[in-house]
């Protein structure tokens, strides 16, 4: 088959490996997905991930995030395993997705809003209730018995 004079020959570059990023939502089964060219290093991947999920994050500082690789545990279930940044090229090939986790920080806790929901202990469990018609961010009147001191740290507050 002959080619017309002046016609260009098109060659396609080798396909660049890609990586699927997964944004996980703490304590919820929701996940968001994005795909990008495979970053060369862990720090590059953090920057890419932050750029892929701008509506889900409160900060763009990489130290507030952790990347984890999808792998199977001994029981055969998929789990997210911490990636040592030094081993990024060895472990992350683009075949398995990488999840983006926000790393809780005490600094973010101290600067953030605090919402209290009234609760009471009933039959060994805590029953949480909000006042009728209350919306997140709105205030309501409480009596002196409902007051609580702000926890001193993130670690104290989460337990």
Give the pLDDT confidence score for residue 143 in this predicted structure: 47
* pLDDT per position as a tens digit, 14-64: 678 999 999 987 666 778 999 999 999 999 999 999 999 888 877 788 888
Do residues 24 and 99 lie in contact, with contact meaning Cβ atoms separated by under 8 Å? yes
* pLDDT per position as a tens digit, 58-87: 778 888 889 999 999 999 999 999 999 999
* Region of residue 30 (phi > 0: left; psi between -120 and 50: alpha; otherwise: beta): beta
Burial of residue 120 (CB within 10 Å: 0-12, 13-18, 19+) is exposed
| pTM: predicted TM-score of the whole model, two decimal places | 0.58
The DSSP code sequence of 39-55 is: -SSHHHHHHHHHHH-TT
Q: What is the mean pLDDT of residues 109-120?
A: 60
């Amino acid at each position: 088959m002959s080619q017309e004079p002046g016609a260009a020959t098109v060659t396609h570059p080798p396909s660049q490996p890609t990586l699927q990023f997964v944004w996980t939502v703490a304590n919820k089964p929701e996940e968001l997905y994005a795909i990008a060219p495979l970053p060369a290093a862990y720090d590059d991947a953090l920057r890419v991930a932050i750029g892929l999920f701008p509506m889900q994050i409160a900060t763009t500082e990489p130290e507030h995030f952790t990347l984890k690789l999808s792998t199977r545990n001994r029981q055969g279930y998929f789990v997210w395993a911490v990636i040592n940044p030094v081993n990024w090229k060895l472990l992350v090939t683009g075949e398995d997705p990488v999840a983006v986790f926000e790393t809780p920080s005490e600094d973010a806790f101290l600067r953030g809003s605090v919402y209290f929901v009234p609760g009471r202990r009933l039959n060994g469990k805590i029953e949480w209730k909000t006042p009728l018609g209350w919306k997140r961010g709105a205030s309501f009147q409480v009596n002196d018995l409902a007051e609580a001191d702000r926890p001193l740290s993130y670690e104290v507050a989460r337990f």
